[in-house]
Amino acid sequence: MPSGSSHLWITIQTGEELSTARRFECKFGRLLLIMLDMIDVSALLEREGGLLLARNHRPLKSSLSRWVQKGVLARPMRGVYAHPTLRFEDRVAAVDARIPGGVVSGEAAIALTLHPEKRPEVIEVCTPTHRMPQRGYRFIERKVPAEYVSNGVMHPVMCAVDKAKDDAGWIDELVRDYRVGPQRFAEALLATPCRAGNVARKKRVRRTRTRPYSELERLCHDEFDRHRIRGWVANKTVYCNGRRYELDIAFEKERLAIELDGYKYHSDPGAFEADRIRQNDLVSAGWTVIRLTWSMMCDTEYAINTVKSELQRLRRGQPKAAKLESASLRQLLRRLRFS
């Protein structure tokens, strides 16, 4: 090789990624002389499905590192190279290509199954063996039951049960938006026994039997059970004036509706107007409506006493209007006596 040459000597088979090449003989056998700028990296990536694995391109090992430094490639994971505009999908594909038995879980699994717009910075991966930390990934040594894995991604039900260690937000979303039954969460919890945090998970999964749609509803259901308030059903569907509504909590026999108002939802002007129409329809259909906010539910005594008092009034059959004043009542009786 001439002195001062910047040529790279490697042994490699020609393919679509090579734009030009020159061959010659030497005592070490047939070699291919390639200039770095003569390799079409885009074509190489396309041929390999968007990812280059170092183990499949050992002759290009030093070149791959150099291309990363020059910004021609990106390295989402050790031994894996992708297009410099690294996408979330490329980072997920790197898990499947590099980690046998790896299962994408947590927020990344939810992004792939339910919320593609919510892509986390760190991808959580369950692995059968211990792995060293890598930037952009969080590895958890854990075996996930096969029935809760699809194409290397954890099922949303199992993700929700996992997160129930801290809060039940994903469980409530699956119940509310996807009509997932309480039994599904109980089965997922039983499939992963002896885990840290299962006590908290069990408590939140058990509460799902009353089908709450939010944390506020869970709090209300807990307080109703604690104070032994019976005869209610959550998220009851009713029809009023040709419109369909779901009552947060309904006492069907007494026709008492408990509406739980969260600030996030009711701060929207459109939702506010729709809520006023909803209440008018319910009242016109004979329902008594009590509205409770998060602050009211935190004042447990006020919330429970309000509900109990209204239930007692309705169960006694007393009219809702205030009683006539005693003077007016006496005048009415006098007129009836002399009529």
Task: Write the pLDDT tens digit of every residue in 153-179.
Answer: 999 999 999 999 999 999 999 999 999
CA-nearest of 175, 86, 76, 94 to 134 is 76
Note the pLDDT of residue 319.
53
Could you tell me the pLDDT band of residue 269, with boundaries at 50, 70 and 90? confident
Note the pLDDT of residue 291.
96
Note the pLDDT of residue 213.
96
Note the pLDDT of residue 143.
95
CA-nearest of 115, 122, 101, 127 to 160 is 115
Strands (E) in 128-226, as ranges, are: 137-141, 149-150, 153-154
Look at residue 198 and give its three-state secondary structure.
helix
Calpha distance 156→166 (Å, rounded) = 16
Note the pLDDT of residue 336.
59
List the chain domain ranges: 1-79, 99-211, 212-339
Domain 212-339: CATH superfamily, name plus number: VSR Endonuclease (3.40.960.10)
Could you tell me the pLDDT band of residue 60, with boundaries at 50, 70 and 90? confident
Could you tell me the pLDDT band of residue 333, with boundaries at 50, 70 and 90? low
Note the pLDDT of residue 6.
38
Q: Could you give the residue ranges of the DSSP H alpha helices within 228-325? A: 263-266, 269-284, 294-298, 300-316
CA-nearest of 137, 159, 142 to 150 is 159
> Which residues neighbour 257 within 8 Å (Cβ) at sequence distance 6 or greater?
247, 248, 249, 250, 251, 282, 287, 288, 289, 290
Note the pLDDT of residue 332.
56
Better pLDDT: 336 or 215: 215
Q: Is the pLDDT of residue 111 over 90?
A: yes
Note the pLDDT of residue 228.
96
Note the pLDDT of residue 323.
45
Note the pLDDT of residue 165.
97
